[in-house]
Amino acid sequence: MGVYNGRMEHTGHHDHSTHGQAMPQGHAHSAVDEKQVHSHGEHAGHSTAMFKNRFWASLALTIPVVIFSPMVAHLLGYHLPEFPGSTWIAPILGTVIFAYGGVPFLKGGWRELKTRQPGMMLLISLAITVAFVASWVTTLGVGGFELDFWWELALLVTIMLLGHWMEMRALGAASSALDALAELLPSEAERVTDDGTVVVPIAELAVDDVVLVRAGARVPADGTIVDGAAEFDESMITGESRPVARGEGERVVAGTVATDNTVRVRVEATGDDTALAGIQRMVADAQASSSRAQALADRAAALLFWFALGAGILTAIAWTVLGSPDDAVVRTVTVLVIACPHALGLAIPLVIAISTERAAKNGVLIKDRMALERMRTIDVVLFDKTGTLTEGAHAVTGVAAAGVSEAELLSLAAAAEADSEHPVARAIVAAAAAHPKASGMRRRATDFSASTGRGVRATVDGAAIQVGGPTLLRELGLETPSALTEKTGSWSGRGAGVLHVIRDGEVIGAVAVEDTVRAESRAAVRALQDRGVRVAMVTGDARQVADAVGAELGIDEVFAEVLPQDKDTKVTELQSRGLTVAMVGDGVNDAPALARAEVGIAIGAGTDVAMESAGVVLAGNDPRAVLSMIDLSRASYRKMIQNLVWAAGYNIVAVPLAAGVLAPVGVVLSPAVGAVLMSLSTIIVALNAQLLRRLDLDPARLSAGGAA
């Protein structure tokens, strides 16, 4: 809502579009797509497209390898097709799969080996390398071993490529928050010269230059107004929905919009010294400092690597000591190959892929895979007020008439405001149109004029109609009629803007204009508290406005009159108490806080920078969707644990059997049986992950059904 000292001026708005440009000396981050290349972790140097392409190529080659495998033919009871060279199909294609599809794992395994941080890549590398060497030894007839693992090698590489492709797709595109910040600046500025103005790139602006900022244009650099007065839309910086009146001698910030009048601004800061660049640095710092817990599958893979390596060494030693060197080789190779179960490679990626798909269908877009894991541990959800818990738009929430009917009051005010495109004017016109009686009183105004910081004036049905706040009343020497003081006092007490309607010098009524609370916000707050999650709110609004909204919604803690940089520190303050924080916001000023929180959640109606800084984006405006995220997080985490327990449990049982610990009693796990059990383990993990599709994520039902 908009009231300065009571009232925002209502002149026509102009187009606010600008041409974005990289910030001077900024840290440009480009938006990326499926070809994104990761720069750290097990996927360093790998792109989503690379894993996808290698998967499809390896899958095409795997089919004939499996068909022409003697081990598979024996298991399924069919005769191998025979023709000249048929015996070389599996070895040749298997080698291609190893060299092409296995390269990402071999490189990743080598990196893990060099950094002494064994994980999934090294475990996969060990398995496919041992299978490759053992299979060639068998194919060439060296030593008389029966270790034909070509089909197992092909399936292992193909399934692992599928798992990593699915995982990287679930990660989403990397954040381009800094680009979104940069695009708030215009590409050019009008520099004032002795001969008029000249258009220059903003990179050429210098301190003490004077620039012309026209109505509807963005301020190109931080500075002070030296001529003129206007209302500025600072919502992209402060998050506050009310335009702010600025006059001579007052500071304005780069990226904000002059909504009504043209002003001249003396430049005081450019490039990296602007407030917008400061927010840009905060986003970068917050992103860099955000904790990145290691994926569960990586931790399990590290343990399984040492388990497999230790089991393999002990197997080789034991069978050699027992005088069976041939069995030592067969048992050791079998242990090392089946120690990398397909199930482990799919346990996490499958859950993430299905979870993100289910979430997307319910308006929750997951960009950061770790957001799923962290959301289940959230202690407090910190909501930005404007545009998140509230509509972020002005609306008439109260009408009080004196000497006229409510319908007549609204019709007169709407007629006077009809020629203005100001948000407050649109709210009054909309209220009159929705009123059953006022909507039928079609009045037209003439002689429309607006005055910054005071209000509007027009002639309606021959009478002079003025609409304005306390400043206008003082200038006219008028007072609020006693019949209205109780209502207007209560409106002011809760932070609403009070606009008086004056006819021929007499106050005939008043309307309250404010940013209305979303109907869904109450249910969201209550349901979060039912789940044991505290709810806090942060806003740049005055304390009385913030407290009124907080009390209405039953919020546990309210942070009011918070500057952009302090939103970030409020997250840190909550974290310093030992709380895990999820931040929900929609403005540029929320971006550092979104990046700093354990989970950043951007509401879909927000700006691009807020959405790019968040790990989760709510496609709609319903804050109850946070409940969907919490319940999905808890359910997916359970599935991850179940899948990991199954995958690891398979190893705990299968590896000792493959090593021959029960050989003295006649129980030995052959390579063929071990491979079959490995495939069954993968099927079980896949089916278990599919159960997530039954999860109900409808926000309306979740908010009505209590804790999950």
Angle at which helix 103-114 crosses helix 48-67, to 10 degrees, equals 120
Residue 645 CB: number of other CB atoms within 10 A?
13
| Catalytic site residue from 384, 541, 608, 631 | 384
Indicate if 696 belongs to the active site: no
- Measured CA to CA, the distance from residue 354 to residue 62 in angstroms comes to 25
Cα dist from 351 to 297, 449, 644, whole Å: 12, 61, 11
pLDDT confidence bin for 619, thresholds 50/70/90: low
3-state secondary structure 301-356: HHHHHHHHHHHHHHHHHHHHHCCCHHHHHHHHHHHHHHCCCHHHHHHHHHHHHHHH
Least confident of 218-222, 299-303, 532-536: 299-303
Least confident of 415-424, 595-604, 679-688: 679-688
Q: What is the CA radius of gyration of the chain?
A: 33
Three-state DSSP at 57 gives helix
- Measured CA to CA, the distance from residue 592 to residue 568 in angstroms comes to 6
91 pLDDT higher than 90: yes
Class of 364-389+517-628 in CATH = alpha beta
From the centroid of its chain, how far is CA 702?
Answer: 21
Residue 292 CB: number of other CB atoms within 10 A?
9
pLDDT confidence bin for 46, thresholds 50/70/90: low
Within the chain, all domains assigned CATH 3.40.50.1000 are found at 364-389+517-628
Which residue in 192, 231, 228, 193 sits closest to 211, CA to CA? 192
DSSP class of residue 222? E
pLDDT confidence bin for 280, thresholds 50/70/90: low
Give the rounded percent of residues in the chain with a pLDDT score beyond 70.
79
Three-state DSSP at 285 gives helix
- Measured CA to CA, the distance from residue 432 to residue 267 in angstroms comes to 43
Tell me the two tokens of residue 601: 């959640």
- Measured CA to CA, the distance from residue 543 to residue 541 in angstroms comes to 6
Give residues with Cβ within 8 angstroms of 463, minimum separation 6. Answer: 412, 503, 504
Q: Compute the average pLDDT of residues 60-65.
A: 93
Following DSSP, what letter does each residue of 113-142 receive, concatenated? HHTT---HHHHHHHHHHHHHHHHHHHHTT-
User: Which residues partner with 617 through β-bridges?
Assistant: 365, 602
- Measured CA to CA, the distance from residue 140 to residue 144 in angstroms comes to 9
- Measured CA to CA, the distance from residue 484 to residue 469 in angstroms comes to 14
344 pLDDT higher than 70: no
Give residues with Cβ within 8 angstroms of 486, minimum separation 6. Answer: none
679 pLDDT higher than 50: yes
Cα dihedral sign, 648-653-655-656: positive
pLDDT digits (tens, 9 = 90+) for 451-480: 766 788 999 999 999 998 888 888 889 988
- Measured CA to CA, the distance from residue 433 to residue 429 in angstroms comes to 6
What CATH code is assigned to 206-269? Answer: 2.70.150.10
- Measured CA to CA, the distance from residue 448 to residue 467 in angstroms comes to 11
Give residues with Cβ within 8 angstroms of 141, minimum separation 6. Answer: none
pLDDT digits (tens, 9 = 90+) for 642-664: 887 887 777 778 888 888 888 88
Tell me the two tokens of residue 414: 């709407």
- Measured CA to CA, the distance from residue 430 to residue 565 in angstroms comes to 36
- Measured CA to CA, the distance from residue 247 to residue 259 in angstroms comes to 13
Q: Residue 162, class by beta-carbon neighbours within 10 Å (0-12 exposed, 13-18 middle, 19+ buried)? A: buried
pLDDT digits (tens, 9 = 90+) for 373-395: 789 999 999 998 877 888 877 78
170 pLDDT higher than 60: no
* Angle, CA 366 vertex, CA 36 and CA 642 arms, to 5°: 105
540 pLDDT higher than 90: no
Residue 431's Cβ-side half-sphere holds a number of Cα atoms within 13 Å equal to 27
H/E stretch holding 401 reads strand 390-401
Class of 392-516 in CATH = alpha beta
Q: Compute the average pLDDT of residues 598-615.
A: 72
Following DSSP, what letter does each residue of 447-498 receive, concatenated? EEEEETTTEEEEEETTEEEEEE-HHHHHHHT----HHHHHHHHHHHHTT-EE
What average pLDDT does the structure give for the chain?
79
Which residue in 408, 301, 405 sits closest to 347, CA to CA? 301
